[in-house]
Amino acid sequence: MKTIAELRKVTVTYGTLTALNNVNLQVNSGETLGLLGPNGSGKTTLLRLLAFIQPPTKGEVLFKGTQVTSANNEQMRMESTMVFQKTVLFNSTVHSNVAYGLRTRKTQREEIDAEVQKALRLVGLEGFEKRHAKKLSGGEQQRVALARALALNTPLLLLDEPTANLDPKNVSIIEEAIATANRELKTTVVVATHNLLQARRLPTHIARVENGMIAEAGKAADVFDRLSKTLASFAAVDNIYVGSAETKEGGTTLIDVGNNIHLEAVGNHSGKVSVFISPEDIILSKSRFASSARNTFKGKIIRILESDSVVRLEVDVGKPITVQITRCSFNEMELNLNAEVFLAFKASSVHII
């Protein structure tokens, strides 16, 4: 497999802070590479290097075997495009936003219209051309930003936490658009994420980033097989617990994660295990509710993180558990700090990794 982009012994410093330290990384043509690591590990800096919008302090960045320098940087930047975690849209229509990059490249109007239509179809926004971009929901705005990048048809697409703080519907649409671009358009994709489930289902290969270094790289399945041994590096990721597991009758496992908290998972496991629960998989209620879910807890809200369309709540049930709900649900339930709530999630939502 050919290498499309490469970092050789790259170090990036900001004053006394070292963001990346002697990093070597290869991105192979046609693959989807996941940069997996907690916030602050250096993933965004890696993407900025691969987008050719930031030079290394030391080392080399190469594209298709050619070193990227100040002399050819402008030309190289035409070969990749990056979608940032914080969406920035112009105060204009969806069509105008998606067409922006094509217009700056002096593309003919007929081709612009065709590429905009194709990109909007990929992200499920057909018919939105005349809508005002800034009046869309947060998830729809992120899809517009992705469409703007896809319309350029660059060989390399870089995505920084593309589904952070989005509702499940928009997450599914964006992930499918990314997979389609890779599969059908043959676009090479590098996606930075700290979402373990996303990293498990989307990339073909993973580079695990830890403290500004590549801790390991390889096929996604191989990296995940070893991940539980180094899970301490993912302390910033929500809802990861280490505990002692024992098999129950009926094909489930009971996991003691401390503080008298037991989690029930699918399958037969025993001994020390690491588990992950996606915040989106947890149901929250202000009153005790009947549920077939194997895991139910009563707790108190100790932290609220609000964004455009979703709200993340940290609930103390003896262990902190992070829950993600829509802003609409948050407002309807009139939730606030120290409010008493009830949580429920299925055994199949407890992922042993």
* CA quadruple 136, 140, 145, 149: dihedral, nearest 10: -140
Considering the domain architecture, whether residues 261 and 293 belong to the same structural domain is answered as: no
Q: Which pLDDT score is estimated for 232?
A: 47
Nearest in space to 199 (alpha carbons), one of 15, 70, 351: 351
Q: Which pLDDT score is estimated for 288?
A: 87
Which CATH number goes with the domain that contains 333?
2.40.50.100
- Residue 353 within a domain: no
User: Quick one: DSSP state of residue 199?
Assistant: H
Residue 199 · residue 167 · CB < 8 Å: no
Nearest in space to 309 (alpha carbons), one of 296, 294, 324: 324
Considering the domain architecture, whether residues 145 and 282 belong to the same structural domain is answered as: no
Which domain, by its residues, includes 99? 3-231
Q: Which pLDDT score is estimated for 228?
A: 58
- Residue 186 within a domain: yes
- Residue 352 within a domain: no
Give the residues of the chain that fall short of pLDDT 70: 227-237, 308
Extract the tokens encoding 42.
């250096």
Number of structural domains, the chain? 3
Residue 305 · residue 315 · CB < 8 Å: no
- Helix 109-122 and helix 94-104: axis angle, to 10°? 130
Pairing of β 188-193 and β 32-36: parallel
Model confidence over 193-208: pLDDT tens digits?
988 778 888 999 999 9
Other beta carbons less than 10 A from residue 348's beta carbon: 13
Extract the tokens encoding 176.
């499918």
Considering the domain architecture, whether residues 261 and 216 belong to the same structural domain is answered as: no
Other beta carbons less than 10 A from residue 39's beta carbon: 11
Model confidence over 5-54: pLDDT tens digits?
999 999 999 999 999 999 999 999 999 999 998 888 899 999 999 999 99
Considering the domain architecture, whether residues 71 and 130 belong to the same structural domain is answered as: yes
Tell me how far apart the 2 most distant CA atoms of the chain are, in Å.
67
Considering the domain architecture, whether residues 331 and 265 belong to the same structural domain is answered as: no
Considering the domain architecture, whether residues 271 and 286 belong to the same structural domain is answered as: no
